[in-house]
Amino acid sequence: MLNFLLRRGLATAPVLLIVAVIVFLLLRMTPGDPAAAIAGDGATVQDIERIRAQLGLDAPVVSQFFGWLGHVLRGDLGYSYFYKMSVTELIGQRLEPTLSVAALTVVLTVLIAVPLGVLAASRRGGRLDRFIMSASVLGFSVPVFVAGYLMIWLFSMQLGWLPSQGYNRIAEGVGPWLRNLVLPCITLAVMYAALIARVTRAAVSEALTEDYVRTARAKGISERRMLIRHALANAAVPIATIIGLSVAGLIGGVVVTETIYAIPGLGQLTVDAVLSRDYPLIQGITLFFSLVYVVVNLLVDLSYLLLDPRIRY
């Protein structure tokens, strides 16, 4: 396992480097000038050039990249053009809301999707199976922003049960913290629960056709125990894979959801950085999200060792 961790750790560096190069070049190739945005509408050409020189944007692109990369290798993600503070500090300030939304969404998704998938597999071909699979298709087909606005319209505007926007830090109380996270987490969970339920149903259905399941039934093991101890346990690897991919996919969902619900997390920060052409902030957030993606995939690979002893790295 140690060799596997070392290999994956070494493979992480090229991935992050490629991401850094692509993001850096794309930002420089797209229209727009941060210096012009900072200078304002009434700025002269001289004002814009002076700001470009202060930000180092007048240097060759190659020099800019290696200068930024050198700071990153020392743990410095740069200094935000518009927030006038360290990118690392900004990410740290916005991390709690994003982690809260992502963590609660994952818990809610797994608690809903896995039992539904197992239930559908146990009633394969029946009405309940068709209903769950039809609902999962609908849930996966509805865009996140549509689901979000529907949730706000129903639970906030019509029923008045939950707040439509904002975020309370957990230090201010668990109750207010959860109250503001219910709608965002349900909005995201609808889509990912649909996907995980379908994969769970397929994996468990395949496991139910194996010889060891027939043997368990012949021994008189109860259907419930057979589903959990035998079918679900042997279908755990593909289920863990899709859960890991869903966690990584939450990066995109969080950006949209935080914008809809005005949650001051990394998703909202990303949107603000893109709109303001804040190069260091965009690059820092992208690298952070890329690192999270790599770590999640590593944890999923390691989970295979616990779920299936036959797997060896």
Burial 292-305 (b: 16+ CB within 10 A, else e): bbbebbbebbebbe
Right CATH for 94-278 from 1.10.3720.10, 2.120.10.30, 2.40.10.480, 3.40.190.10? 1.10.3720.10
Domain map (residue ranges) of the chain: 94-278
* pTM, entire model: 0.79
CB 23 within 8 A of CB 282: yes
Backbone φ, ψ for residue 142 (5° rounding): -80, 125
**Maximum Cα–Cα distance across the chain:** 86
Quick check: helix, strand or coil at residue 86?
strand
pLDDT tens per residue, the chain (313 residues)?
667 667 766 777 788 788 888 888 888 777 777 777 777 777 777 777 787 787 777 778 888 888 888 888 888 888 888 888 888 889 888 888 888 888 898 888 888 888 888 888 877 778 888 888 888 888 778 887 888 888 888 888 888 888 888 888 888 888 888 888 888 888 888 888 888 888 888 888 877 777 777 776 777 777 677 777 767 777 777 888 888 878 777 777 788 888 888 888 888 888 888 888 888 888 888 888 888 888 887 787 777 777 766 666 5
Residue with tokens 């029923």: 159
